Structure 1
Amino acid sequence: MREEFYKTLSSPIWWGALVIAAIMPFVLSSYYVHILTLALVYVALASSWNIVGGMAGQISLAHSLFIGIGSMFSAALLLKLGINMWLGLVISAVISGILGAVIAWIDFRFQLGHLSFVLITLAFAEMGSIVVEGWDFLGGASGLLLPKDTGNFLAFQFGGGHGAFWMMLGLAAICVLVNVAILNSPLGYYLRTIRDNEKAAQAIGVNILRYKITAMVISAMLASVVGTAYVRYLTFADPYLLISPVITIEIVLFATVGGLGRAYGPALGALLLVPLGEILRGKLGSTLPGLHYFIYGIVVISVILVTPRGLLPLFERLWARWRGPAVASKP
């Protein structure tokens, strides 16, 4: 199990992909760097959600709450109390982890079904949105404007577009690696057992509560950290963007299209769909309003109909077919 994780960590393909991605800001225009930065944000968010939604089978819509805590609360701590955003990141992540544990405990205590769990988590997200929009400390409905990014790393500033891209690349890589580590650990096996048959897992002695709480805490804390980095990149804490349940629905979409429960599936979905949506909006949004949404929807529906398990399993089958004759021809 650990060998698979270390194999991934030492893979030349993995490091080659990171190096190629890291030099993208020197090759592409600022517009496309911005699109790739957004894609990396959603790679990290979709990968963090995958721990709960893909591996454990708990379709949570509360992740906008964790993203909102990471973004709105850390920004408020900086602007209202003068607390460094690095410390704000830690405080927000701890609060998100505690809330995640509470949600997981409620799920276990009341034996919620899948639909009930979705509704409960959506209710938490909506309550968080109402609190943020009505609390002046968090900026209320007007949001919060962060200081200009001057590149002061100790103040959680990364020097504009290139620095933000590298920061998001690092966070995305960490979130994907956490997925790889969990999938190849006992925790990953227990989560998949709970997902496939919770009663059978409990019957064979799996501690359902412990592993649900563990998965939710890890997922919530990662989402909160990404939220803090995202608001630093945006420089404006917009409650209608950062704590809206819509952002969670987008995350679920990317993870589903890429491949639920797979280490690289959510990343693949985000890397394909986010640039597609942004480029369609940039090219068609002003000339033919609404057409980019229509094309984007057609693409998503087609992918789901052709490969219900996601794009990653399809790519793996195509790769195996392509390699098959080459492997067979070797003596």
Structure 2
Amino acid sequence: MIGKGFYQTLASPWLWGILVLAACLPLALNSYHLHLLTLALVYVALASAWNIVGGMAGQVSLAHSLFIGIGAMLSTALLVKFGINMWAGLVISAAIAGALGAMIAWIDFRFQLGHLSFVLITLAFAEMGAIIVEGWEFLGGASGLLLPRDTGDFWAFQFGGGRGAFWVMLGLAAAVVLVNVAILNAPLGYYLRTIRDNEKAAQAIGVNVLRHKITAMTISAVLTSIVGTCYVRYLTFADPYLLATPTITIEIVLFATVGGLGRAFGPALGALLLVPLGEVLRGQLGGAVPGLHYFIYGVVVIVVILVTPRGLLPLAERAWRGLRRRGPEPRPASAS
């Protein structure tokens, strides 16, 4: 059962106003800025999917590059090698990713892994996945796979260019964020936060830790795989060094942490701010002094984390509440 907070969010005029405004942006932006926002939306969806496990359940998983790789590389290989429609490839990839996510959660529970051990185990899974993708010719190997040209045929899982890809990613990002809202307002969200805060106490009061960990990891893996499939269709090229490397998971964790872990809109805020910032810095400073854009980006991230350790979302909420309390100044009474 989902609490009323989800329905209040769903009925919020602010939410729909922002979505409508965002949906109109492709009509006013050039291709470069449209690409920046599309890329940001990809990471909004990825960071929000990871937040279900890393933020709500407190399990810092580095295996999500494996799920992205399954969604991107496997669905592409099924299309290119066997002609299987990419919609079917999306479903097959998501099912495999969900099964692997459940298995990883079971291993964590079965062997009672500590936080550091869980991080290392998931990193090992991610590294193994990267090695398999780069060495398996069926998935394109180190050379990757090129998708057929995008002609705009929606039933063939084609988006019709930059604008279509933006609208698809906007809908997908909004859906993943709303899944976060739904979980936080459902019993599953309360159980996950109890497990995160004190797993032994959760077990003592009768919380089924294994079931909820598996549920969280499965949902997160399935959503991540779906985003990976949509992302590779947008890129039109399945690059194993981009889509199956643990580096992409580290970026996701960074965005979620800076935005606000465990909050429905925190990872989205982090991705919307940091992805364009990183791309703009690289474009403006990448050719001037080698590595300067990385240095500035790192300084910005460090300052944000030091100033607001809980993320930018609580800071933004406090600022918003302050503005609302201040409001317009009352008018002086008339002298009549």
Shift of 1:329: 7.2
State the Cα deviation string for residues 43-88 of structure 1 (Å, max 9, x = none): 0000000000000000000000000000000000000011000000
Q: Does 1:107 align with 2:108?
A: yes
Q: Which residue of 1 aligns with 2:334?
A: none
Q: Which residue of 1 aligns with 2:117?
A: 116
Rounded to whole Å, the distance in 2 between the matches of 1:77 and 1:329 is 65
Rounded to whole Å, the distance in 2 between the matches of 1:328 and 1:119 is 56
Shift of 1:327: 9.5
Shift of 1:325: 3.1
Rounded to whole Å, the distance in 2 between the matches of 1:325 and 1:149 is 51
Q: Which residue of 1 aligns with 2:253?
A: 252
Q: Which residue of 1 aligns with 2:31?
A: 30
1:7-46 superposed matches below 5 A: 7-46=8-47
Rounded to whole Å, the distance in 2 between the matches of 1:16 and 1:319 is 17
Rounded to whole Å, the distance in 2 between the matches of 1:255 and 1:328 is 37
Identity %: 78
Q: Does 1:189 align with 2:185?
A: no
* Amino acid paired to 2:147: L
Rounded to whole Å, the distance in 2 between the matches of 1:2 and 1:55 is 17
Rounded to whole Å, the distance in 2 between the matches of 1:296 and 1:281 is 9
Rounded to whole Å, the distance in 1 between the matches of 2:168 and 2:231 is 10
Q: Which residue of 2 aligns with 1:94?
A: 95
State the Cα deviation string for residues 135-166 of structure 1 (Å, max 9, x = none): 10000011000011010000000101000000
Rounded to whole Å, the distance in 1 between the matches of 2:163 and 2:122 is 35
Shift of 1:324: 2.1
* Amino acid paired to 1:95: I
Shift of 1:294: 1.0
Q: Which residue of 2 aligns with 1:4?
A: 5
Name the TM-score, length of structure 1 as normaliser: 0.98
State the Cα deviation string for residues 237-273 of structure 1 (Å, max 9, x = none): 0000001000000000000000000000000000000
1:55-66 superposed matches below 5 A: 55-66=56-67
Q: Which residue of 2 aligns with 1:179?
A: 180
Rounded to whole Å, the distance in 2 between the matches of 1:325 and 1:291 is 41
Shift of 1:3: 1.2
Q: Which residue of 2 aligns with 1:213?
A: 214
Q: Which residue of 2 aligns with 1:283?
A: 284
State the Cα deviation string for residues 18-39 of structure 1 (Å, max 9, x = none): 0111111111110000000000
1:130-209 superposed matches below 5 A: 130-209=131-210
Rounded to whole Å, the distance in 2 between the matches of 1:135 and 1:325 is 61
Rounded to whole Å, the distance in 1 between the matches of 2:160 and 2:77 is 21
State the Cα deviation string for residues 176-201 of structure 1 (Å, max 9, x = none): 00000000000000000000000000
Unaligned runs of 5+ in 1: none
Q: Which residue of 2 aligns with 1:264?
A: 265
Shift of 1:323: 1.8
Rounded to whole Å, the distance in 1 between the matches of 2:82 and 2:326 is 64
Q: Does 1:72 align with 2:57?
A: no
Rounded to whole Å, the distance in 1 between the matches of 2:153 and 2:298 is 41
Q: Does 1:51 align with 2:52?
A: yes
User: Per the alignment, in what secondary structure is the counterpart of residue 270 of structure 1?
Assistant: helix
Rounded to whole Å, the distance in 1 between the matches of 2:194 and 2:327 is 36
Rounded to whole Å, the distance in 2 between the matches of 1:158 and 1:131 is 29
State the Cα deviation string for residues 86-118 of structure 1 (Å, max 9, x = none): 000000000000000000000000000000000
Shift of 1:318: 1.3
User: Per the alignment, in what secondary structure is the counterpart of residue 23 of structure 1?
Assistant: helix
Shift of 1:285: 1.1
Shift of 1:328: 11
Rounded to whole Å, the distance in 2 between the matches of 1:329 and 1:229 is 51
* Amino acid paired to 1:174: A
Unaligned runs of 5+ in 2: 332-336
Shift of 1:319: 1.4
Name the TM-score, length of structure 2 as normaliser: 0.97
Q: Which residue of 2 aligns with 1:313?
A: 314
Rounded to whole Å, the distance in 1 between the matches of 2:203 and 2:247 is 34
User: Per the alignment, in what secondary structure is the counterpart of residue 170 of structure 1?
Assistant: helix
Shift of 1:320: 1.6
Rounded to whole Å, the distance in 2 between the matches of 1:112 and 1:281 is 39
Shift of 1:289: 2.4
Rounded to whole Å, the distance in 2 between the matches of 1:267 and 1:219 is 15
